[in-house]
Amino acid sequence: MSSFEDAYQEMLTEGIISGANIGCSSSEIAAIEHKYGITLPQSYKEFLRRCGRSCEALDDNEFNYQYEHVKDMTELLIKGRQRLLVEEDELTDPFPDSIFFIMERYGDEFNYIIANSEADSPVYYYNYPLDTVKKVFDSVGDWFKAHAADMNSFKEQGL
């Protein structure tokens, strides 16, 4: 099992999620890989298969992680970053090859992975206005568990 599948099964066992999610089809996942010329990590493919359209463990109002958002997010952010670099006469780009953005929050905070045919990827944080990048999770499973735990905590508090 992948880090995502391990995290997902743990959340099911603990009763944090029930499995009432809507996933993506194999053809939708293949379309992303074809569009960007990448191979997504197996752990992220499993996330998309189980939760790519709607996930009870993530706040659909606060986070844009769904297929309809992520399928174009990378292209838009890379173009936006290139415009920013031109405007500021910068020649460097912090984005590695095979980058794929997996979540957006508040319109300027993003998470991304490296799609390099590996089984898993660390998850990185990118702040668009501040142009900062940092590694925030060691795996897609850790990313999912952290957000699911936060969501569960908010539900328990009645928020």
Better-scored residue on pLDDT, 12 or 139: 139
- Report the pLDDT value the prediction gives residue 114, as an integer from 0 to 100: 92
Better-scored residue on pLDDT, 159 or 46: 46
In angstroms, the CA 67 to CA 132 distance is: 25
Q: Does pLDDT of 88 surpass 70?
A: no
Better-scored residue on pLDDT, 150 or 141: 141
Lowest average pLDDT, out of 34-38, 47-51, 57-61, 100-104, goes to 57-61
Extended beta strands in 83-131, E state: 99-105, 109-114, 123-127
Residues 6+ apart with CB under 8 A from 106: none
Classify the phi-psi angles of 29: left when phi > 0, otherwise alpha if psi is within -120 to 50, otherwise beta. alpha
Better-scored residue on pLDDT, 21 or 102: 102
Per-residue pLDDT band at 64 (split at 50, 70, 90): confident
Q: What pTM, to 2 d.p., does this model score?
A: 0.85
- Report the pLDDT value the prediction gives residue 29, as an integer from 0 to 100: 96
- CB-based burial, 110-136: b 16+ in 10 Å, e otherwise: bbbbbbeeeebbbbbbbebeeeeeeee
Q: Write down the H helix ranges in the chain.
A: 3-13, 26-36, 42-51, 67-87, 140-156
Q: Does pLDDT of 92 surpass 80?
A: no
Q: Among candidates 6, 78, 82, which has minimal Cα distance to 42? A: 6
- Report the pLDDT value the prediction gives residue 1, as an integer from 0 to 100: 58
3-state SS, residue 133 = strand
Q: What is the mean pLDDT of the chain?
A: 83
In angstroms, the CA 36 to CA 32 distance is: 6
- Report the pLDDT value the prediction gives residue 103, as an integer from 0 to 100: 92
Residue type, 34: H
- Report the pLDDT value the prediction gives residue 28, as an integer from 0 to 100: 96
In angstroms, the CA 19 to CA 28 distance is: 20
- Report the pLDDT value the prediction gives residue 56, as an integer from 0 to 100: 78
